[in-house]
């Protein structure tokens, strides 16, 4: 979960540095997307564990 969020955060920071803009916050957007992807992944894994029992 942490790795996914870190990768999205790193990519957002890189985009902020490469394409500076006063109104677009790539880092914030990508961190939120990363959190969503990580939560989806955890929920999917928990559902798979519960199905096997």
Taking only the tens place, the pLDDT of each residue in 3-35 is 999 999 999 999 999 998 888 899 999 999 999
What is the model's pLDDT at position 15?
94
Query: The dihedral of CA 17, 19, 21, 24: what is its sign?
Result: negative
Q: How far apart are CA 33 and CA 20, in angstroms?
A: 20
Helix (H, G, I), strand (E, B) or coil at 53: coil
Which residues constitute the domain of residue 19?
Answer: 2-52
What is the model's pLDDT at position 22?
85
Q: How far apart are CA 17 and CA 38, in angstroms?
A: 24
Q: How many structural domains are present in the chain?
A: 1
CA angle 42, 46, 9 (to 5 degrees): 5
What is the model's pLDDT at position 21?
84
């Amino acid at each position: 979960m942490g790795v996914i969020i870190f990768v999205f955060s790193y990519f957002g920071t890189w985009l902020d540095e490469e394409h500076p803009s006063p109104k677009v916050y790539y880092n914030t957007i990508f961190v939120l997307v990363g959190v969503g992807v990580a939560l989806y992944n955890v929920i999917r894994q928990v559902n798979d564990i519960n199905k096997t029992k």
